[in-house]
Homo-oligomer: A and B are copies of this chain.
């Protein structure tokens, strides 16, 4: 397996996003300049990326989208199923469970966990909710490799520790907390409140500037 850097992986996933939206809109071909404009990446970078693919385009029609996607997925090795678990079935956890149901054939949330007994032992959006004590057992049984944390900040480190001990290889953390993880566990931090705080700060700044000029 090649070593693709994190930024390239991100760029490739953005390409797939855009190509899927073009397919849904009925397009069969795409020009590299369209792709560059859509994902905010320089046309030079797109062309450099394309040189790695065995993809033939024409100046009239551009590149065939389905073949382009097949190449991208081959590089991203997304053809095999990745099993994920989610901890914390509050509003955000439920939104994520609902989103992933059947939308992504190769990404599946196979189990959800919650510390609150009232939320457990039922099915939400097709996903069984277990008491958090059963995490290690279910992760091992299912072979889950990704953990999604949607618990409040105070419980996030504990959830992360349980996930690492259970053997997941990557964690997506939505809790507004900085996690300490073993070096071999990939961490993706998605801090919704931090992003909204930042937006509010810069909005205030722009509004103030407009008032004073």
Q: Which residues from chain A sit less than 8 Å from chain B, CB to CB?
A: 1, 6, 9-10, 13-14, 17-18, 21, 24, 38-40, 76-78, 80, 82, 84, 90-92, 94-96, 98-99, 104, 107, 145-146, 148, 153-154, 168-172, 176-178, 184, 186, 188, 190, 192-209
A182 to B: closest C-beta gap in Å: 11
> Number of copies of this chain in the oligomer?
2
- Among B76, B91, B169, which residue has its beta carbon within 8 angstroms of that of A203? B169
- 10 residue pairs from A and B, CB less than 8 Å apart: A9-B201, A21-B177, A39-B178, A40-B178, A76-B197, A76-B201, A92-B92, A145-B204, A170-B199, A172-B195
State whether A77 and B172 are in contact (beta carbons under 8 Å apart), knowing that A92-B95, A99-B92, A188-B198 are contacts in the complex: no
Chain B residues near A206 (CB, 8 Å)? Answer: 145, 169-170, 184, 186
Q: Given the complex of chains A and B, what is the CA–CA distance between A1 and B56 in angstroms?
A: 54
Q: Given the complex of chains A and B, what is the CA–CA distance between A194 and B18 in angstroms?
A: 12
A178 to B: closest C-beta gap in Å: 5
State whether A177 and B77 are in contact (beta carbons under 8 Å apart), knowing that A145-B204, A208-B1 are contacts in the complex: no
- Among B6, B192, B204, which residue has its beta carbon within 8 angstroms of that of A190? B192
- In the complex, the chain B residue whose C-beta lies closest to that of A185 is B206
Chain B residues near A104 (CB, 8 Å)? Answer: 193
A200 to B: closest C-beta gap in Å: 4
